[in-house]
């Protein structure tokens, strides 16, 4: 798949403007793409499971913890949320030795010039070039010239803290500063007498799972599946009171779920960057059908415009609209078509 931001990021390496250091580069929020970077020279960091798995399949080494090593080149691919992106730049500067380079790219329509200006504010003079309706920009790091107050402020703004609902969260997560209206509507329509083993597909920082356990005391256990490690780590803290009644799984739900559940709840994601991706929610529905007992129930919420009905009817024996309100549809699906053996 064409990835113009990635292609623009690696352009200065491809044309020889920026050299890959002999002792390797660090790649924050790394992903694979074409032209490929040399796997032996690039250490990757990625907390989103689908991208992590793709990097592993391509032969890259992933780091799980920061060992304090300083790099001659640090590459950055931004996310959607500004505070998270600023923290990425701060971490990139901290990870780069004197004389090394921090290099990032973004599309023009998603704020490339703003991102470039923020790197310049943090680290000083920036060089840039444009291609593919994107911009790649880089700064040579002199740690004595880095704005340390700005760096510390950006790191602090991205740190986990309690949102308005009292849950530990952080910028960049889905509905990070509040309870999502769709998730709240799903809980409001969840039968209080549900029982047995449950799962939450796409659990985020844990609101749905926590609210379901409180609303449905007969639920004995819930597994939280979440692709973003930054969210799952906070869900673990938010649900600590439940002990072993809750388990936390860093997983790409679209690749299927192994389980034997009585109940599954879900508010599936449907965006990649700013693009609607209904195929992700459809994959969540099929994963739920494959992980439920023969009489198990799926309760899900979706924006009204998302085309999930045909997938639900193909995967389940019974599909019922519990509510259609405020731009959201709350759906109950019972009895997966292919019974588990």
**215 belongs to a structural domain:** yes
Do 120 and 198 reside in the same domain of the chain?
A: no
Residues 174 and 153 in one domain: no
Q: Is residue 126 part of a domain?
A: yes
Domain end residue (candidates: 102, 135, 159): 159
pLDDT recorded at residue 340: 45
108 and 169 fall within a common domain:
no
CA distances from 33 to 4, 7, 200 (A): 9, 7, 31
Are 335 and 316 a contacting pair, CB within 8 Å?
yes
Residue 341 domain-assigned (yes or no)? no
Count of domains forming the chain? 2
Do residue 297 and residue 150 come from a single domain?
no
**192 and 60 within one domain:** no
* β-pair partners for 301: 330
Same domain, 12 and 35: yes
pLDDT at 239: 98
Q: In the structure encoding, which two tokens stand for residue 201, read together?
A: 């597909």
The residue range of the domain holding 97 is 4-159
Q: Go through 275-313 and write b for each residue having 16 or more CB atoms within 10 A of its CB, e for each that does not.
A: eeebebbbbbbbbbbebbbeebbbbbbbeeebebeebbe
Establish if 218 belongs to a structural domain: yes
Say whether both 197 and 316 belong to one domain. yes
Do 253 and 146 lie in a common domain?
A: no
CATH number at residue 185: 3.40.50.150
> Does residue 176 lie within any of the structural domains?
yes
289: in domain: yes
Element (H, E) at 79: none
* Closest listed residue to residue 66, CA positions, set 40, 92, 31: 92
Find, among 121, 107, 49, the residue nearest to 78 by Cα: 107
Of the three residues 159, 176, 211, the one that is the final residue of a domain is 159
pLDDT for 167: 97
Q: Do 184 and 150 have their domain in common?
A: no
Reduced to 3 states (helix: H, G, I; strand: E, B; else coil), residue 264 is: strand
| One domain, residues 19 and 154 | yes
CA distance 277 to 101: 35
- Report the C-alpha gap between 335 and 317 in whole angstroms: 5
* 94 domain residue, yes or no: yes
User: Which stretches within the chain are classed as H helix?
Assistant: 4-9, 11-14, 49-57, 82-94, 112-123, 148-158, 181-188, 207-215, 229-238, 278-291, 309-315
Same-domain status, 229 and 266: yes
For residue 162, with 0-12 CB atoms within 10 Å meaning exposed, 13-18 middle and 19 or more buried, which class applies?
exposed
- Is the pTM of the predicted complex or chain greater than 0.85? yes
User: Is 317 a domain residue?
Assistant: yes
**Mean pLDDT, each 10-residue run in order, the chain (341 residues):** 92 96 96 95 97 97 89 95 95 97 96 96 95 97 96 96 95 91 96 98 97 98 98 98 98 94 94 72 96 96 92 96 94 80 44
Are residues 92 and 204 located together in one domain of the fold? no
């Amino acid at each position: 798949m064409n990835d113009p931001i990635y292609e623009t990021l690696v352009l200065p390496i491809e044309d020889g403007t920026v050299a890959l250091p002999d002792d390797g580069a660090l790649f924050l929020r790394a992903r694979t793409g074409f032209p490929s970077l040399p796997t032996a020279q690039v250490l990757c960091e990625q907390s989103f499971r689908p991208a992590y798995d793709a990097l592993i399949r391509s032969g890259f080494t992933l780091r799980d913890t920061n060992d304090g090593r300083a790099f001659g080149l640090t590459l950055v691919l931004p996310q959607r949320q500004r505070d998270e992106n600023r923290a990425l730049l701060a971490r990139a500067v901290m990870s780069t030795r004197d004389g090394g380079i921090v290099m990032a790219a973004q599309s023009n329509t998603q704020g490339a010039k703003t991102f470039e200006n923020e790197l310049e504010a943090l680290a000083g003079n920036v060089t840039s070039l444009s291609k593919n309706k994107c911009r790649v920009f880089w700064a040579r790091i002199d740690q004595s010239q880095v704005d340390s107050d700005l760096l510390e402020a950006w790191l602090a703004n991205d740190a986990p803290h309690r949102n308005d609902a009292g849950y530990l969260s952080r910028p960049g997560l889905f509905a990070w500063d509040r309870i999502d209206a769709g998730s709240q509507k799903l809980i409001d329509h969840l039968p209080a007498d549900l029982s047995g083993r449950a799962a939450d597909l796409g659990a985020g920082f844990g609101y749905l799972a926590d609210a379901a356990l409180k609303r449905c005391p007969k639920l004995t256990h819930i597994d939280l599946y979440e692709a973003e490690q930054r969210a799952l780590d906070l869900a673990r803290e938010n649900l600590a009171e439940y002990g072993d009644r809750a388990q936390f799984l860093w997983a790409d739900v679209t690749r299927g779920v192994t389980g034997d559940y009585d109940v599954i709840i879900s508010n599936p994601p449907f965006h990649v960057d700013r693009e609607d991706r209904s195929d992700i929610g459809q994959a969540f529905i099929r994963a739920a059908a494959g992980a439920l007992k023969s009489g198990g129930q799926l309760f899900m919420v979706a924006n009204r415009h998302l085309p999930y009905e045909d997938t639900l009817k193909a995967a389940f024996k019974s599909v019922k609209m519990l509510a259609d309100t405020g731009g959201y549809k709350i759906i109950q699906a019972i009895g997966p078509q292919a019974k588990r053996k």
